[in-house]
Amino acid sequence: MIRTFRPIPLKKIKLVLFDLDGTLIDSELDLANSVNAMLRHFGRNELPLEVIDTYIGDGAPMLIRRALGDPAHAQVLQEALNYFLLYYREHKLDNTRPYDGIPQALQQAEICDGISRQMAVLTNKPVRASRDILAGLGLSKFFFQTYGGNSFETKKPDPLGAQTLMREAGAEADETVMVGDSEVDVLTARNANLWSIGVTYGFAPHTLERTHPDILVDTPEELEQALTVGQG
């Protein structure tokens, strides 16, 4: 069910920014397998999938820090992060797929009332892996740009990435929507004065209860409707 807390003036929207993990793609299993491969390598116990889910969304360094229980030594964290990134690079497309309905939603969202929009990905995932996944899944064609957690000196919810994409697209804040599955994305939108859409089918729907987006959707089909149908 689509829940609208603040109607988005769709006819004004020129730019749509998407989170990646938990929003466009179901990467849960590959991320969890890579985290557990790292834990095994360093003699740690593996973690359940549902626990790792709660660690995703703030970038790879924070994911590994949480998985290790916030280690005191920076060298331990760096070695674990390096191992995770190497492993994930090889296994990032073992099980990862777009959520059902996402390619169609992206295709429809590109045009509203005959007006073309620009779309981009803004994720806290490392940028190289993000671009490789989008290319591997055939989604790159929808986006004029993809930025990751290591593209700037700050990550979401800092507004720098969103502001950079708006500048590149020639769009104002009130002409831009951020779509994501967690409060990180909603806070990014707020910090940059954007509109926001939260998706509950991703990894962190519970966080959307703490930070309400303008619109909340439960499926990619509802996301398509929220971006294309009758709100202003």
The set of catalytic residues is 19
d(CA 75, CA 60): 15
Identify residue 108 by its one-letter amino acid code. Answer: Q
Q: How far apart are CA 69 and CA 219, in angstroms?
A: 33
Length of the chain in residues, anyone?
A: 232
CA 157 to chain centre: 11
Q: In the numeric block, which tokens belong to residue 151?
A: 């593209």
3-state secondary structure of 148: coil
> CB under 8 Å to 192, separation ≥6 — which residues?
159, 162, 163, 166, 173, 176, 178
**Where are the alpha helices (H) located in the chain, listed in sequence order?**
28-41, 49-53, 60-67, 74-91, 102-109, 127-136, 160-169, 183-191, 205-208, 220-228
What residues are paired with 173 via a beta bridge? Answer: none
94's tokens: 């073992």
